[in-house]
Amino acid sequence: MEIRAHMVSAGKAEGEAVVYNGPFAFLGDLSPVTGRICMPRHRLEGQSLVNKVFVFTTGKGSSGCDFAAWATKKNGNAPAAIICLESEPVLSGAVIATEIPAVDRPEKDVFELIKTGDHVRVDATSGIIEIKGKKGAVIQNDFMIYSTAFLKTRMPSPYCGIISLP
């Protein structure tokens, strides 16, 4: 099955899909050291995105996102490709700078059609998403806002490579 989409960052990649119906940021959600989701209590906490096709709703936007994406890519721990409903400027800059193939605005409901574990090919340059094999299920959004006081008392996730709290 093919799905048309809008190119955000050129390139081609394929791999196993990780589907998350929620927002994502390279800074804070993904450890550049391990390539795993490291946000405490995130529904994907501990899930590796290394060489995966990551499907999510949108970026969260963060001034350090470009650097975090670069560090993740430099360490060999980046997703193979990104599919999102709508890329925001910070996410777009990060994937373009790190040359991670990415598309947004898919013409069909990717959360209905792509499940975690499916084999997906992304030709971002042509704006084509191709579902090659079916397997799993979508992980629903559990996005939470943590207070600074809570974060200061929370032990860092074992999946994070770096956490800096004042």
62 tagged catalytic:
yes
Where do the domains of the chain lie?
Answer: 2-153
Residue range 2-153, CATH number: 3.50.30.10
> Which amino acid is located at 34 in the chain?
T
Predicted TM-score of the model (pTM): 0.81
Q: Residue 113 CA to chain centroid, in angstroms? A: 17
| pLDDT score for 144 | 36
Confidence of residue 29 (pLDDT cuts 50, 70, 90): very high
Distance CA 19, CA 10 (A): 21
SS3 at position 21: strand
Angle at 50 between CA 8 and CA 118, to 5 degrees: 75
| pLDDT score for 162 | 47
Strands 119-123 and 128-133: antiparallel
Question: Of these residues, 9, 31, 48, 62, which one is catalytic?
Answer: 62
Residue-wise burial string across 66-89, b where 16 or more C-beta atoms lie within 10 A, e elsewhere: bebbbbbbeeebbbbbbbbbebbe
Tens-digit pLDDT profile for residues 68-118: 999 999 999 999 999 999 999 999 999 999 999 999 999 999 999 999 999
Which residue did the predictor score with more confidence, 146 or 25? 25
**Residues of the chain above pLDDT 70, percent:** 81
